[in-house]
Amino acid sequence: MSTYNLKINGEKKSVTVASDTPLLWVLRDTLGLVGTKFGCGIGQCGACTIHLNGIAVRGCQTPVSSAVGFDITTIEGLDKEGKHPLQQAWCELDVAQCGYCQSGQIMTASALLKRNPKPTDQDIDDAMAGNLCRCATYTRIRAGIHKAAELTAGKEAGV
């Protein structure tokens, strides 16, 4: 057991856990941030996607010890009001079915939009291939990313 000082969603948190504990379980069990989901534990499903310094990573593959010093963002902290363009687009297009994969989808998509504000279908295929949706809401996830890109562009253009 060791103590780690983390910065999560802009807040400082200190946790005492085994050093090999994946960030996923620190978030879920220690800090009660359960929006980050457990799906496979081996980096295959993307349900646990979070950001380290704005880059999408797998929470189940990130030992807590390696997350020290990074800005960690989870779905709960993506936008203070819960109104990130992707979150708005997701509600407007009614993307979710069961919803279990969707925090991971949104975290991967938000990292994509940050580096590529106007992604093509091909860009979306490449960026989103690591996120499974068992309910197969892929049609609407794709539409949601395009919609969010529009919303952002519209906001920047002042419309």
Partner 1 sequence: MKPTLSKELNRRSFLKLSTLASGGLALAYYLKSATSLEGQVSKLTESTDENSFKPSAFVHIAHDGTVTLASARPEIGQGIKTSLPMIIAEELGVKWTDVKVISVPLDPIFGGQAAGGSTSTPTSYMHLRRVGATARTLLIQAAAASWSVPVTECYVKDGSVVHKPTGKSLSYGALVQAAAKLPVPDEHSVVLKDPSEFTLLGSRIGGVDNQKVVTGQPLFGIDQVIPGMLYAVYVKCPVWGGKVVSANLDVVKSQPGVRDAFIINETVPYHNNPVLGLVPGVAILADSTWNAFSARKQLQVVWDEGKFANDSWSGYSEAAKQMATTGKGLKKVRDSGNVDQAFQTAAKVIEADYHFAFIGHTNLEPQNTTAHFTGNKIHLWSPTQNPGDVQASVAEALDIEPENVSIVMTRIGGGFGRRLHPDPCMEAAVIAKKCGQPIKLTWSREDDFQHDHFRPGGFHHFKAGLDAKGKLIAFADKVMGFDAASGADNYPARFIDNCRIEAGKIPNNVPTGPWRAPGSNTYGFVICSFLDELAHAGGRDPVEFSLEILGTKDVLPGTGPRSAPYNAARMRGVIKLAAEKAGWGKTLPKGQGMGLGYYFSHQGYVAEVAEVTVTKEGELKVTRVVAAVDVGSQIVNLSGAENQVQGAIIDGLNSSWRQELDIQNGRLVQSNFHEYQMLRMPDTIRDIEIHFSKTKYPPTGLGEPALPPLAPAVANAIFAATGKRIRQLPFSHTDLRWS
Note whether 144 binds ligand FES by CB under 6 A: no
- Check: CB of residue 68 under 8 Å from CB of residue 4: yes
Note whether 28 binds ligand FES by CB under 6 A: no
* E strand or H helix that includes residue 15: strand 11-17
Strand 55-58 relative to strand 71-73: parallel, antiparallel, unpaired?
Answer: unpaired
Smallest distance from partner 1 to CB 30, Å: 7
* Burial 65-78, CB ≥16 within 10 A → b, else e: eebeebebbbbbbb
Which of 67, 72, 112, 133 touches partner 1 by CB under 8 A? 133
- Check: CB of residue 50 under 8 Å from CB of residue 74: yes
Residue ranges in contact with ligand FES by CB under 6 A = 38-41, 43-48, 58, 60, 96-102, 133-135, 137
Residue ranges in contact with partner 1 by CB under 8 A = 1, 17-18, 20-22, 25, 28-30, 32-42, 44-45, 47, 74-76, 78, 82, 86-87, 90-92, 94, 96-103, 106, 121, 124-126, 128-142
